[in-house]
């Protein structure tokens, strides 16, 4: 089945034009895709004038309201049905689309998706998963990144299963390597929740993943694992710390290179090398955070993503529809119950 | 008073020679310092042969035992008195030294220091504070970095006071800017502990610090604050994520620069620029993590520190003795009680 993707055309820092340009790029790369473009009809039509190929593959659904970037989730939810974000999610719920993509307010997108789509039976809480660059070609799948502030052992085991399903679809691994984020690698390190989750995952040899214990946050880019699981607070801190440090180093580099004529010349000569670095670190190449654990696929594109970034997020969404992410998560759920004794909660 | 510093000469990845070379460098920069060198007398004497100036300013205390890098804190504590680490801490306890510096096992150093020196009356738990490079000249003071896995509102307020005292001594600020690490900057974000601590610090206008609310982990290097406070788990994750990301980017850079003859030439030409970057990021220039909240000063030097790094850690220790860190923390304690109602616990 060629998936139809609902696009919240009004989200993102740079508005309708960038979203539509990104969707057009995705369509160009994957001619089978079709789209439901949700938002202000006049502005969408105007943006489509530059992309006639996309016009024929798209339906427009006019909605007046938008969710603002600084709006509180509770506020946004009250008017969900009248917003482009809410209607894009609703299209997934009704089956009018196989997945939704938005560059808007993350908290609002999460809250609306949770209410509209609900969690898969057997999953306690959804999680937000993102892709981090590594020293190898394939990205690291990292979750949870802030959908929840805490997580008990059961949540962590569910996150492991969902993250592994995502990694299997992205890279075709049979049994992705999974580690839990901790502040040390010895068995006794960290919180009780982490130790219980590690024990449960250690018993889960029959799950389609290979559990390799704990990892520390300085190893995220080392490609020593395919999935890193954490509670939402720690995951959010780790992800943002990585983003901030990468920006810090590249800023220092820019300052250093422009500090003298000599270094400027050196920079010009070695530009192909620094371009390679820029390409590797460009968040647009790792765009597309996914809400895992819901009865429907919702992909969060970075608010500052460019057209290429939006196209990557759309491709991720399409891939997850085609490869039946939700069924794949569901398949492992009965196996989770077996490693979580005591009424399904970890020992 | 010129402080005498106890040195655990046996800790560190590169052993006695690097420790003694670092101490010699510190002595060269600060001729008033004197030292108690604790560890294997024969090896210390051998290392001192290259540093006759240091010999005359030092006393050697022979101890046979060492704490290994991979030893569990509980294991190390049982033999504390017979180890160079334990005896260096003991010298602080007895007053034979004003501070102790060790490059050994962090967990063991923390556990031994806590038992031997105990917390300052009024401080619930000690915290580990480190220095992070920023885009400005002055480093960021960050704590807790793993002395505790969790932290309640009271602990966080105490960490704020202790971190501010450290920052005042390092940089002479009257009221260092303090923020709490969170996953968003709005009032309602994060855990109850964080919100309670923010409320308490908001009432604490009389404390010698300026509380500026929440910060996220991508802002750590932006120099928008002087102190960042978090629970030990999140702080450890953030610090390690920053270290890992900085190494990742510099590794990518090295690979990029060596990818072609052209880029190698560009690198050679711009070497002064990249050296500047290397200098700014070199952990040796930000060495010296401090256990705050104990009745004595214990500084943890990075296990992989070179002589310059060790010298910086020694200078930090001396500075904290000279400027009476412990008295400075103590001064604020009665003021904390006022913002923490309900038997001294946050509302």
- Cβ separation A237–B234 shorter than 8 A: yes
User: Is residue A93 a contact partner of residue A296, using CB atoms and an 8 Å limit?
Assistant: yes
CA–CA separation, A103 and B193 (whole Å):
31
**Per-residue pLDDT tens for A316-342?**
999 999 888 888 888 888 777 777 745
Residue A317 DSSP symbol = H
Find the closest chain B residue to A223 by CA distance.
Answer: B248
Does the pLDDT at position B72 exceed 80? yes
Other C-beta atoms closer than 10 Å to the C-beta of B162 total 30
Does the pLDDT at position A281 exceed 90? no
- Cβ separation A135–B217 shorter than 8 A: no
Q: Please write down the long-range contacts of A74-78, taking CB distance under 8 Å and 24 or more positions apart.
A: A74/A111, A76/A105, A76/A107, A76/A108, A76/A111, A76/A112, A77/A108, A77/A111, A77/A112, A77/A115
| Average pLDDT rounded to a whole number, residues B117-135 | 92
Contacts of A191 in chain B (CB under 8 A): 149-150, 233
Looking at residue A113, its pLDDT comes to: 96
Does the pLDDT at position B103 exceed 90? yes
- Cβ separation B135–A244 shorter than 8 A: no
Looking at residue B2, its pLDDT comes to: 65
Instruction: Count Cβ atoms within 10 A of the Cβ of residue A73 and give its class: 0-12 exposed, 13-18 middle, 19 or more buried.
Output: middle
Does the pLDDT at position A218 exceed 90? yes
Does the pLDDT at position A19 exceed 70? yes
Looking at residue A324, its pLDDT comes to: 87
Give the β-pairing of B140-143 and B127-132: antiparallel
- Cβ separation B257–A245 shorter than 8 A: no
Residue B175 DSSP symbol = S
Mutate which of A73, A179, A183 to disrupt the B interface (most B C-beta within 10 Å)?
A183
| Average pLDDT rounded to a whole number, residues B272-299 | 84
Q: How confident is the model at residue B329 (pLDDT cuts 50, 70, 90)?
A: confident
CA–CA separation, A145 and A240 (whole Å):
9
Other C-beta atoms closer than 10 Å to the C-beta of B13 total 12
**Per-residue pLDDT tens for A163-188?**
999 999 989 999 999 999 999 888 77
Q: How confident is the model at residue B242 (pLDDT cuts 50, 70, 90)?
A: very high
Looking at residue A1, its pLDDT comes to: 55
Percent of chain B with pLDDT over 70: 97
CA–CA separation, B41 and B333 (whole Å):
42
Phi, psi of A61 (to 5 degrees): -115, 115
ipTM tops 0.85: yes
Looking at residue B344, its pLDDT comes to: 43
- Cβ separation B233–A135 shorter than 8 A: no
Among residues B323, B296, B248, B268, the alpha carbon closest in space to that of A269 is found at: B268
- Give every strand in the sheet of B127-132, ordered side by side: B58-62, B34-39, B4-8, B99-102, B297-300, B289-292, B127-132, B140-143, B227-229, B177-181, B210-215
- Go through chain A and tell me how many residues it has: 347
Contacts of B304 in chain A (CB under 8 A): none
Of B220, B260, B276, the CB nearest to A272: B260
The distance between the two most distant Cα atoms of chain A, rounded to a whole number of Å, is 69
- Terminal alpha carbon distance of chain B: 42
Give CA separation, B5 vs A39, B2, B302, in Å.
Answer: 68, 10, 17
| Average pLDDT rounded to a whole number, residues A256-268 | 79
- Among A186-200, A257-271, B244-258, B309-323, where is mean pLDDT lowest? A257-271
Q: How confident is the model at residue A297 (pLDDT cuts 50, 70, 90)?
A: very high
Of A217, A219, A276, the CB nearest to B256: A276
| Average pLDDT rounded to a whole number, residues B252-269 | 80
CA–CA separation, A152 and A194 (whole Å):
8
Q: How confident is the model at residue B345 (pLDDT cuts 50, 70, 90)?
A: very low
Choose the most confident range, by mean pLDDT, from A11-15, A16-20, A66-70, A281-285.
A16-20
| Average pLDDT rounded to a whole number, residues B20-33 | 92
- Cβ separation A232–B272 shorter than 8 A: no
Which residue segments constitute the domains of chain B, with CATH numbers given? 4-117 (3.40.718.10), 129-283+329-344 (3.40.718.10)
Q: How confident is the model at residue B267 (pLDDT cuts 50, 70, 90)?
A: confident
- Cβ separation B270–A252 shorter than 8 A: no
Instruction: Indicate the SS3 state at residue A313.
Output: helix
Residue A81 DSSP symbol = G
- A209 or A334: whose pLDDT is higher? A209
CA B263 to chain centre: 38
Looking at residue B87, its pLDDT comes to: 97
Give CA separation, B100 vs A39, B110, B112, B120, in Å.
Answer: 64, 12, 12, 17
Looking at residue B211, its pLDDT comes to: 97
Mutate which of B140, B191, B249, B303 to disrupt the A interface (most A C-beta within 10 Å)?
B249
Looking at every residue in chain A, the average pLDDT score rounds to 89
Contacts of B146 in chain A (CB under 8 A): 183
Looking at every residue in chain B, the average pLDDT score rounds to 89
Across the A:B interface, residue pairs with CB atoms under 8 Å apart total 200
Looking at residue B1, its pLDDT comes to: 55
Whole-model pTM: value is: 0.90
Q: How confident is the model at residue B249 (pLDDT cuts 50, 70, 90)?
A: confident
| Average pLDDT rounded to a whole number, residues A271-298 | 83
Of A243, A252, A268, the CB nearest to B218: A243
**Per-residue pLDDT tens for B144-173?**
998 788 899 999 999 999 999 999 998 999
Find the closest chain B residue to A268 by CA distance.
Answer: B266
- Cβ separation B217–A277 shorter than 8 A: no
Q: Which two tokens stand for residue A22?
A: 């990104």
- Go through chain B and tell me how many residues it has: 347
- Phi-psi sector, A214: left (phi>0), alpha (psi -120 to 50), beta: beta
Q: How confident is the model at residue A2 (pLDDT cuts 50, 70, 90)?
A: low
Q: Which H or E run contains B228?
A: strand B227-229
| Average pLDDT rounded to a whole number, residues A67-82 | 89
CA–CA separation, A132 and B23 (whole Å):
41
CA–CA separation, A110 and B320 (whole Å):
47
Looking at residue B271, its pLDDT comes to: 76
Phi, psi of B93 (to 5 degrees): -60, -45
Among residues A65, A70, A2, A66, the alpha carbon closest in space to that of A32 is found at: A2
Q: Which H or E run contains B100?
A: strand B99-102
- B188 or B64: whose pLDDT is higher? B64
Looking at residue A345, its pLDDT comes to: 46
Contacts of B216 in chain A (CB under 8 A): 240
Looking at residue B148, its pLDDT comes to: 81
Looking at residue A343, its pLDDT comes to: 42
CA–CA separation, B224 and B135 (whole Å):
10
- A147 or B321: whose pLDDT is higher? B321
Instruction: For B94-124, give one letter per residue: b (16+ CB within 10 A) or e.
Output: eeebbbbbbbbbbbbbbbbbbebbeebebbb
Phi, psi of B213 (to 5 degrees): 85, -150
Find the closest chain A residue to B191 by CA distance.
Answer: A149
- Cβ separation A244–B243 shorter than 8 A: no
Peptide bond before A144: cis, by omega within 30 degrees of 0? yes
| Average pLDDT rounded to a whole number, residues A217-222 | 94
Q: E strands, A125-277, where? A: 127-132, 140-143, 177-181, 210-215, 227-229
Q: Which two tokens stand for residue B272?
A: 């002064």
What residues are paired with A62 via a beta bridge?
A39
Residue A283 DSSP symbol = G
Looking at residue A344, its pLDDT comes to: 43
Q: How confident is the model at residue B347 (pLDDT cuts 50, 70, 90)?
A: very low
């Amino acid at each position: 089945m060629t998936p139809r993707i609902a696009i919240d055309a009004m989200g993102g820092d740079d508005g309708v034009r960038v979203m539509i340009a990104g969707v057009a790029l995705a369509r160009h790369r994957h001619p089978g895709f079709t789209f439901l473009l949700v938002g202000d009809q006049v502005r969408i039509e105007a943006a489509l004038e530059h992309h006639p190929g996309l016009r024929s593959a798209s339906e427009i659904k006019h909605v007046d309201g938008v969710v603002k970037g600084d709006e509180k989730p509770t506020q946004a939810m009250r008017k969900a049905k009248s917003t482009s974000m809410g209607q894009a999610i609703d299209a997934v719920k009704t089956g009018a689309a196989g997945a939704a993509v938005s560059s808007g307010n993350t908290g609002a997108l999460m809250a609306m998706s949770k209410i509209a789509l609900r969690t898969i039976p057997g999953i306690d809480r959804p999680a937000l998963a993102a892709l981090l660059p590594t020293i190898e070609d394939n990205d690291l799948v990292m979750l949870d990144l802030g959908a929840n502030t805490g997580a008990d052992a059961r949540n962590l085991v569910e996150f492991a299963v969902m993250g592994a399903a995502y990694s299997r679809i992205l890279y075709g691994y049979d049994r992705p390597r999974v580690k839990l984020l901790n502040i040390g690698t010895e068995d006794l390190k960290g919180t009780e929740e982490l130790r219980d989750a590690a024990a449960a995952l250690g018993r889960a040899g029959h799950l389609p993943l290979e559990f390799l214990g704990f990892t520390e946050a300085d190893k995220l880019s080392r490609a020593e694992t395919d999935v890193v699981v954490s509670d939402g607070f720690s995951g959010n801190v780790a992800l943002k710390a990585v983003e901030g440090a990468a920006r810090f180093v590249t800023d220092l580099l820019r300052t250093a290179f422009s500090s003298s004529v000599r270094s400027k010349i050196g920079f010009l000569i070695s530009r192909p090398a620094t371009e390679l670095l820029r390409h590797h670190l460009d968040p647009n190449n790792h765009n597309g955070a996914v809400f895992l654990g819901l009865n429907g696929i919702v992909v969060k594109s970075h608010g500052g993503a460019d057209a290429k970034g939006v196209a990557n997020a759309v491709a991720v969404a399409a891939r997850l529809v085609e490869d039946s992410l939700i069924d794949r998560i569901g398949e492992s759920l009965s196996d989770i119950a077996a490693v979580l004794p005591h009424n399904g909660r970890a020992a």
